[in-house]
Amino acid sequence: MKILWINPVGTDRYDRAIGALLKREAREETEVDVVSLPQDRPQHLEYHAYEAIVTPDIVRLVYAFRKRYDAFVIGCFYDVALREAREVSAEAVVLAPCQSSLVHAAHLGNSFSVLVGRQKWIPKMQENVRSYGCADRLASMRALELGVQDFQRDPEATARRMIEEGKKAVEEDGAEVLVLGCTIEFGFYREMQERLGVPVIDAVLSPFKLAESLGETARRFGWGPSRTGGSQAPPEEEAARWGLACEPPIGSFLGFAEIPHED
């Protein structure tokens, strides 16, 4: 089982920490590599224009490595470029945090709230939740008023903030499950869970563990992506001519062996 975790940003700042987290929680048979984008790319994707910029990067990475991995995870809760990447992933499955988290949430409770960084993120994330069919179960989206780059700066302050807002989601909005609406909110779910008494879905662990499962069923049962209808892949030659088959846009690549056990 080989998984590629894509941090779709122009910084390797989170690669080692996320890599170590994945390594610690991986099944024995799983190998996970972590890649991030060239340094001139946006370092966070809080604006849709930044998503636009990294969209071809994500698709090119998946296309380039489609035969070397069983599963890909696009590490941003906007689920950027998910439809596009799935189209070119050959037999590999492609996952993304929002869709995965909703799977976990749907199995654990009647309703969920998402704790996002900023109000800014809410409309697109709500539309994603709606398009995944989970709008009826969404108790609320609550903004922590922290940016992507703030979450790991002062973890204690972040934890306090998340617990405070999570408590409101449970008590005022009726959420039975909490979902952390950004991959950089990693490292907090367990304390929140203990304090709040409800499951807290981590946006890194959720798609990663589901990727292990869907990667396994893809390989074992042939349950890779459909290639008919809207899922039909572009012809290889044409795709190559029009820029899909270029040098993959890698800023940093951290192979499984290089990932530290603790970070």
User: How many chain residues interact with its own copies (CB under 8 A)?
Assistant: 93
Dihedral pair phi/psi, residue 114, rounded to 5°: -110, 130
Q: Which residues contact 201 (CB under 8 A, 6 or more apart)?
A: 101, 104, 105, 112, 177, 178, 179, 180, 189
Instruction: Please identify, among the stretches 152-160, 180-188, 200-208, 248-256, the one whose residues bind its own copies according to the rule CB under 8 A.
Output: 200-208
Contact 263, 20 (CB under 8 A): yes
CA distance 41 to 24: 29
- Quote the tokens at residue 108: 């654990």
254 in contact with its own copies (CB under 8 A): no
* Bridge partners of residue 253, in order along the sequence: 35
Q: Which of residues 143-182 bind its own copies (CB under 8 A)?
A: 170, 174-177
Contact 54, 230 (CB under 8 A): no
C-alpha dihedral sign at 195, 200, 205, 210:
positive
Cβ of residue 203: shortest distance to its own copies, in angstroms?
Answer: 12
- Give 15 or 202: the residue with its C-beta nearer to its own copies: 202
Cβ of residue 183: shortest distance to its own copies, in angstroms?
Answer: 15
Cβ of residue 217: shortest distance to its own copies, in angstroms?
Answer: 5
Cβ of residue 33: shortest distance to its own copies, in angstroms?
Answer: 21
Q: Which of residues 63-122 bind its own copies (CB under 8 A)?
A: 63, 81, 83-85, 87-88, 93, 95, 99, 103-104, 106-111, 119-122
- Amino acid sitting at position 26: A
Q: Which of residues 223-252 bind its own copies (CB under 8 A)?
A: 223-234, 239, 242-244
Q: Which residue of 2, 13, 20, 56 would you call a contact of its own copies, by CB under 8 A?
A: 56
